[in-house]
Amino acid sequence: MRKVSIFGATGSIGVSTVDLLARQGGAAAFEVVALTGGRNVALLAEQARTLRAQIAVTAHEDCLNDLRIALAGSGVEAAAGQSALIEAADRPADWVMSAIVGAAGLAPGFRALRHGGTLALANKESLVAAGPLLLSEAARHGATILPVDSEHSAIFQALVGEDIATVERVILTASGGPFRDWPAERLARATLAEAVAHPNWAMGQRISIDSASMFNKALELIETREYFGIAPERIEVLVHPQSVVHALVGFADGALMAHLGVADMRHAIGYALNWPARRETPVARLDLAALGQLSFMAPDPVRFPALRLAREVMETRGGAGAAFNAAKEIALDHFIAGRLGFAAMAGAVEETLARLNARGDLTIAPSSLDQVLEIDHLARVTAGEVIAGAGATMTGKAGGKRV
Ligand code: NDP
Residue 1 has pLDDT above 50, yes or no: yes
Closest CA to 19 of 202, 239, 286: 202
How many angstroms is it from 287 CA to the middle of ligand 1? 30
Look at ligand 1, atom 43, and give the residue with the nearest C-alpha: 149
Residue 396 has pLDDT above 60, yes or no: no
pLDDT on residue 401 = 35
pLDDT in tens, 323-333: 999 999 999 99
pLDDT on residue 10 = 98
**Same CATH fold assignment for domains 2-148 and 317-393:** no
Check whether domain 2-148 has CATH 3.40.50.720, yes or no: yes
How many angstroms is it from 147 CA to the middle of ligand 1? 15
Closest CA to 299 of 392, 384, 188, 211: 211
DSSP state of 181: T
At 400, the pLDDT band (50, 70, 90 cuts) reads very low
pLDDT in tens, 95-140: 999 999 999 999 999 999 999 999 999 999 999 999 999 999 999 9
Question: Atom of ligand 1 at shortest distance to CA of 216?
Answer: 34
pLDDT on residue 394 = 55
Question: Atom of ligand 1 at shortest distance to CA of 36?
Answer: 9
Fold classification of 317-393 (topology level) = Rna Polymerase Sigma Factor; Chain: A (1.10.1740)
Tell me the pLDDT of the chain averaged across its residues.
95
pLDDT on residue 391 = 65
pLDDT in tens, 254-263: 999 999 999 9
Residue 20 has pLDDT above 60, yes or no: yes
- Average pLDDT (179-195) is 95
How many angstroms is it from 85 CA to the middle of ligand 1? 14
Separation CA 186–CA 59 (nearest Å): 37
pLDDT on residue 201 = 84
Which residue ranges have their beta carbon within 6 Å of ligand 1?
8-14, 37-40, 59, 99-101, 104, 122-125, 149, 201, 203-207, 265
How many angstroms is it from 108 CA to the middle of ligand 1? 13
pLDDT in tens, 127-175: 999 999 999 999 999 999 999 999 999 999 999 999 999 999 999 999 9
Residue 366 has pLDDT above 90, yes or no: yes
pLDDT on residue 390 = 81
Question: Atom of ligand 1 at shortest distance to CA of 44?
Answer: 47
- Average pLDDT (70-84) is 98
Question: What are the boundaries of each domain within the chain?
Answer: 2-148, 153-262+284-291, 317-393
Q: Which of 5, 13, 106, 217 to mutate to test the pocket of ligand 1 (most atoms within 8 A of CB)?
A: 13
The per-residue b/e assignment along 390-399, b for 16 or more CB within 10 angstroms, e otherwise, is beeebbebbb
pLDDT on residue 393 = 52
Closest CA to 232 of 134, 307, 173, 322: 307
Q: Which of 96, 207, 243, 265 to mutate to test the pocket of ligand 1 (most atoms within 8 A of CB)?
A: 207
Separation CA 26–CA 11 (nearest Å): 18
- Average pLDDT (186-205) is 93
- Average pLDDT (229-243) is 97
pLDDT in tens, 200-225: 888 999 999 999 999 999 999 999 99
Rounded percentage of the chain residues whose pLDDT exceeds 90: 95
Residue 293 has pLDDT above 80, yes or no: yes
How many angstroms is it from 195 CA to the middle of ligand 1? 17
How many angstroms is it from 203 CA to the middle of ligand 1? 9
How many angstroms is it from 95 CA to the middle of ligand 1? 18
Look at ligand 1, atom 27, and give the residue with the nearest C-alpha: 101
Q: Which amino acid is at 131?
A: G
Q: Is the model's pTM score more than 0.85?
A: yes
